[in-house]
Chain A
Amino acid sequence: MTTLEPPVVARPTAGLSRLVDRHASALPTAAAVGILALLLVGAQVYFGNFLTPRNLSALLLDHAYLIILAVGMTLVILTGGIDLSVGSVLAFTGILGARMLASGLSPAVVVPVMILGGAAIGLMIGVLVQYFDVQPFIASLAGLFLARGLAFVVSLQSVKVQSSSILWLQSTRFGVGDWYITPTGIIAVVVLAAGAFTLAYTRFGRTVYAIGGDEQSARLMGLDVARTRVLVYVVSGACSGLGGLVLTAYSGAGYPRNGIGTELDVIAAVVIGGTLLSGGVGYVLGSLVGVLVYGTIKTIISFKGAEQSWTQITIGMLLLVFIVIQQVIVVRSARRR
Chain B
Amino acid sequence: MRKTLKISALSAALLAGVASASMAEDKVVNVYNWSDYIDESILEDFTKETGIKVVYDVFDSNEILETKMLAGGSGYDVVVPTADFLQRQIQAGAFEKLDKSKLPNISNMWDKILERTAQFGDVNDYGIDYMWGTTGIGYNVDKVAEILGPDVKPDWNVVFDPEMIAKFKDCGVHFLDAPTEIVPAALNYLGLDPNSTDKADLEKAAELLKSIRPSIRKFHSSEYINALANGDICLAVGWSGDVLQARDRAAEADAGVKVDYSIPAGGALMWFDMMAIPKDAPHKEEAYAFLNYIMKPEVIAKASNYVFYANGNKASQEFIDKEVLDDPAIYPPPATMEKLYVHLPLDPKTQRILTREWTSIVTGQ
Q: Does B bind A?
A: no
Residues of A bordering B, CB below 8 Å: none
